Amino acid sequence: MVGRPCPDMPTVSDHQGNVYQTVQFGNQCWMAENMRCTTSPSGKSWAHNPVFTIMNPIFRSYYITVRNANYGNLYNWSAAMDLDINEYSFFSTDKYHRGICPEGWHLPSNDEWMLLLEMLGGSNYAGAVMKSRASNWIQPVIAQQVSGFSALPAGIYTEDGLRHTGNYAYFWSSTTYDRQNAWGCGLFSYNSDCYNILDYKCYGRSVRCLRDEPTEEIVKL
């Protein structure tokens, strides 16, 4: 499936004024770029922390390189969910959890990620069509016709620092597993896979947002 800009919203802006392209798959309207905000939309206190070994809401920017505009920032799960310092074990019962996303958008659940992979050919193929054609991928297994999701290999931030830039793209979901772990989606430069991955909430991952509800017009497409 090849996506196209969401019919009634080809771009969306976050609370800091950053503008993101959108892409439509079925009834899902996704951001086609990684989140770049550096503050909480609800006014919570965040830190730019290059270590990522604590649960506080923190992010790690790429300001030291020219890649920031494309790769966005990496957020631990607390920051992605826009939680208070003591809420990293949070279990959301909301249908949509906004997190750091623009108003009317939310951090995708694990089920919503899995639906996207199903629409893009399944977990053993979706990774190839989700990747950007940009040369950032070190071993680029990319489909002939890409979807427009435009995933870039921003890597992940762990206690060992920034890892796997150029090889992996990791995205958070809103679905928690336990006090220390949450689900997300990962794809890799060297194959066509994309599937759900369990990871420590203190690690830094990329964030893509999903629109809350499609309009009636989008449903009919």
20/45 Cα distance (integer angstroms): 24
Q: Tell me the per-residue pLDDT of 86-120, one tens digit each, with 9 for 90 and over.
A: 676 667 667 899 999 999 999 999 999 999 999 99
Secondary structure class of 186 (helix, strand, coil): strand
pLDDT at 100: 95
Structure tokens at 173: 């979901």
Q: Tell me the per-residue pLDDT of 36-71, one tens digit each, with 9 for 90 and over.
A: 998 999 988 787 776 666 667 787 765 545 455 678
pLDDT at 107: 96
Structure tokens at 92: 């959301």
Q: Tell me the per-residue pLDDT of 140-197, one tens digit each, with 9 for 90 and over.
A: 788 878 889 999 999 998 888 888 888 999 999 999 998 889 999 999 998 999 989 9
The answer on pLDDT for 220 being more than 50 is: no
136/122 Cα distance (integer angstroms): 24
Q: Identify the bridge partners of residue 23 per DSSP, sorted by sequence position.
A: 30
Q: What is the pTM of this model?
A: 0.89
CB 206 within 8 A of CB 34: yes
Cα-Cα-Cα-Cα torsion 136, 140, 146, 147, nearest 10 degrees, comes to: -70
Closest CA to 71 of 152, 168, 185, 187: 152
Q: Tell me the per-residue pLDDT of 11-41, one tens digit each, with 9 for 90 and over.
A: 999 999 999 999 999 999 999 999 999 899 9
Closest CA to 94 of 79, 106, 80, 83: 106
The sheet that has 168-176: what strands, in order across it? 168-176, 181-188, 194-200
pLDDT at 63: 52
> What phi, psi does 177 have (nearest 5°)?
-110, -50
45 vs 201: which has the higher pLDDT: 201
> What phi, psi does 185 have (nearest 5°)?
-125, 140
pLDDT at 218: 38
Q: How many residues comprise the chain?
A: 221
Q: Tell me the per-residue pLDDT of 118-139, one tens digit each, with 9 for 90 and over.
A: 999 999 999 999 999 877 888 8
The answer on pLDDT for 85 being more than 70 is: no
177/91 Cα distance (integer angstroms): 8
